[in-house]
Amino acid sequence: MRYAFLIFLLIPYNSFCQYKSYIIGIKGDTLNVVDKNGLKQGRWVHSFPPLRGEPGYEEQGVYVNDKKEGQWQRFSPAGDLLAIENYRWGNKNGKSYYFNRWGAMEREESWKAVNPDNPYDTLDVYDLNDPTRVIDRVVVKLEGFTLKHGLWKYYDPEFGTVVRTEEYWLDKPKNGLEGLDPIDVSKGGKSRSDSAAAKTAAKPKTIQDWEKKNSGKKNIKVRDGRTGGN
């Protein structure tokens, strides 16, 4: 019986020898593991002190090979839930929720993480007259690490009502998707709009929008400060 007890003790000891560092939580669980390759693994708890007038906070969640994965939660020093965020490949992915110090919802965000090993994604194109009908599938290259994607909601914390919404599609406002063209990966990954974009790149976007809005209208004289008959 004595030898069986010694074997039981050696199992966790040998497991811990694979770690470069770790801590034991108040419940006896292993936290803040850094493996022998220097990568964060498993459940972690971070503590951040107050800085430049901002209150401190703690966050907890899981690391996989030094990258945040799955749900992470943020708490005030008093233990109040401040945020719930979801991660993939170390970047925000899916829904994130933010609360004030009294627990009322302030904001809901939607994100799409980009796979660093494959930044291309195949997306459905829907009929403008029938949003339920898919008319095409296109390959697009996703720029960045995480993109605003989906509906964002802003709440009145006092009444819990939505006061403003924003909708994004791959980091662009839903009403400004003209530049999202399919990519022909067989031709070096250039979209059909590349040549057109090159022609208009010299003009600021605000000027391009103004010209598009006012094309076909009569010229309007604008007072520019000059005097005389000219």
Q: What is the pLDDT along the chain (230 residues), one digit of tens a residue?
A: 443 433 333 334 455 568 999 999 888 999 999 999 999 999 999 999 998 888 899 999 999 999 999 999 999 999 999 999 999 999 999 999 999 989 999 999 999 999 999 999 887 887 878 878 888 888 888 888 999 999 999 999 889 999 999 999 889 998 755 444 444 444 444 444 444 444 444 445 555 665 565 565 444 443 444 444 44
Q: Alpha-carbon distance 70 to 93, whole Å? A: 9
User: Which of 123, 109, 116 has the alpha carbon at shortest distance from 91?
Assistant: 116
DSSP state letter for 16: H
Instruction: Give the pTM.
Output: 0.66
Q: Alpha-carbon distance 202 to 27, whole Å? A: 61
Q: Alpha-carbon distance 226 to 230, whole Å? A: 8
DSSP state letter for 206: H
8 A C-beta contact, residue 151 and residue 157: no
Helix (H) or strand (E) holding 92: strand 91-92
Let me know how long the chain is.
230
Q: Which amino acid belongs to residue 187?
A: K
Cα–Cα distances (Å) from 104 to 22, 101, 152, 218, in that order, read 35, 8, 16, 52
DSSP state letter for 54: B
